[in-house]
Amino acid sequence: MTVSFGHIEDIAELSLIARTCTRCSLSDGRTNVVFGSGAVDADVMVVGEGPGQQEDEQGVPFVGRSGQLLASLLAEVGLERDDVYIANVVKCRPPRNRDPLPAEIDACKPYLRRQIELVDPSVVITLGNFSTKLLLRTTTGITRMRGVAYEWWGRYLVPTFHPAAALRGGERVTNDIRSDLRLVRSIIDGRISSGDEPQTNDVTVSVDQDEESSQMGLFGES
Ligand code: SF4
C-alpha cells in the first residue's frame, strides 16, 4: 500500500515514525533505524544505499570507512559533514550487507521522498546505483550516469560512485568522485545555473519530466 508523509512538516517527527517502522522485512534484523543526519536546512543532500553494520549499531549513516572517505572528499571541496544532510535509500540494514530488494526500496521510498522535500537542498548527490536509479528513474548504471549535473525537480542532482566502490576500486574511482564533487561546488557557488551551455566538465542535462511524471511526483509516487 502506498503511503504518503506529505502532511508531516517536521523531519524529527518523520524520524520518530521511521523508528518504529515495520513496512518491510528489514525491520526484523535491525538494531537501529538509520534515518539520516546533518543539517535539516542543508544546501546539499547526500543519498546513499543502506546502512552497514556500524551504521546499524550506531543509528547514524556513513560512520564506517566509507563515511570517513566521504567526509574527507566533501572537505576537499569545502563541505563539512555537518553542513550536508545524509540519508539512505533504505533506513534499515539488509542482512549480511546484501543489496536492498526492489520491494524494500519501494516500501522505504516515501521516507526519502519527504526528507528531500523537507530539507529542500539545491543539490542532491546520489552515491552509487541504487539511489541514482531510484531518483533519476533510470536503469542506466552509475558509470554512465556520473560526470553530469541533472536538472531535477527544481534543483540539481549529481550522481557519483559510492565511496565503498572507491575503497575497492582505488584512485581512479576516488578521482571520479572528486571530479563530481567539484561539479557540486560549482553549482552551489553559482558557476553553473539552469540554461547554461554545457561544457566538458560542467555539464547540465534536463531530466525528462513529462506531464505524467509531474503529476506522479518524485520517484513516480502520487
Ligand atoms: S527499511 Fe524502511 S520501510 Fe523497511 S522497515 Fe526500515 S524504515 Fe521501514
Q: What pLDDT, on a 0 to 100 scale, did the predictor assign at position 204?
A: 64
* Ligand 1 pocket, CB under 6 A: 18, 21-24, 26-27, 33, 90-92, 104, 107-108
Nearest CA owner, ligand 1 atom 3: 108
Q: What pLDDT, on a 0 to 100 scale, did the predictor assign at position 75?
A: 98
Pair 36, 44: CB distance under 8 Å: no
Nearest CA owner, ligand 1 atom 6: 92
List all residues 6 or more positions away from 36 whose beta carbon is below 8 Å from its beta carbon.
11, 15, 61, 85, 86, 87, 88, 115
Q: Give the number of other Cβ atoms within 10 Å of residue 190's Cβ.
A: 8
- Average pLDDT per 10 consecutive residues for the chain, totaling 222 residues: 88 98 97 98 97 96 96 97 97 95 97 97 97 96 96 95 94 97 96 54 55 48 46
Q: What pLDDT, on a 0 to 100 scale, did the predictor assign at position 192?
A: 73
Report H helices in the chain: 11-19, 53-58, 65-76, 102-119, 129-136, 142-145, 163-169, 171-188, 211-216
In the chain the domains, ranked by start, together with CATH numbers, are: 40-211 (3.40.470.10)
Q: What pLDDT, on a 0 to 100 scale, did the predictor assign at position 206?
A: 60
Q: Give the number of other Cβ atoms within 10 Å of residue 60's Cβ.
A: 18
Pair 26, 90: CB distance under 8 Å: yes
Q: What pLDDT, on a 0 to 100 scale, did the predictor assign at position 222?
A: 40
Q: Give the number of other Cβ atoms within 10 Å of residue 196's Cβ.
A: 12
**In testing the pocket of ligand 1, which one of 1, 30, 33 has its CB within 8 Å of the most ligand atoms?**
33
Q: What pLDDT, on a 0 to 100 scale, did the predictor assign at position 110?
A: 97
